[in-house]
Amino acid sequence: MKNHINVAIQVLPKSTTREAYDLVDDAIKVISLSGLKYQVCPFETAIEGPYDEIMELIEKIQSVCFQKGADELLVYVKIQNRKDSKVTMEEKMKKYSE
């Protein structure tokens, strides 16, 4: 799928060897290195970009968290997708920045 979408992802890691917030930081680092537009928020991170790239990124986030010491992950994903046009963070947030 080639659509340009918005995703909100929340990663809640459980680990017997690492602090949850440290693993969340690892997840955010993976997102920051992806080159995709993103915004970290208090409860989740919003990401914007091509559908396929974001789905690959979600898989990579989970892999990295497990490699870094997560024993279990709860991953919540919200997707906004349109049939014939892009979904951007800017269009949704514009009225709040005026």
Give the model's pLDDT for residue 2: 82
Measure the CA–CA gap between 57 and 43, rounded to whole angstroms. 19
CATH number where 41 lies? 3.30.70.930
The beta strand positions in the chain, using DSSP E, are 4-14, 37-40, 45-50, 72-80
pLDDT value at residue 1: 67
Distance CA 60, CA 71 (A): 16
Q: Which of the residues in the chain have pLDDT under 50?
A: none
What pLDDT does 29 receive?
98
Closest residue by Cα to residue 3 from 41, 55, 46, 44 = 55
Domain that residue 19 falls in: 4-96
Specify the pLDDT at position 18.
97
Work out how many domains the chain is built from and give that number. Answer: 1
Query: Comparing C-alpha atoms, which of 36, 32, 39, 66 is closest to residue 51?
Result: 36
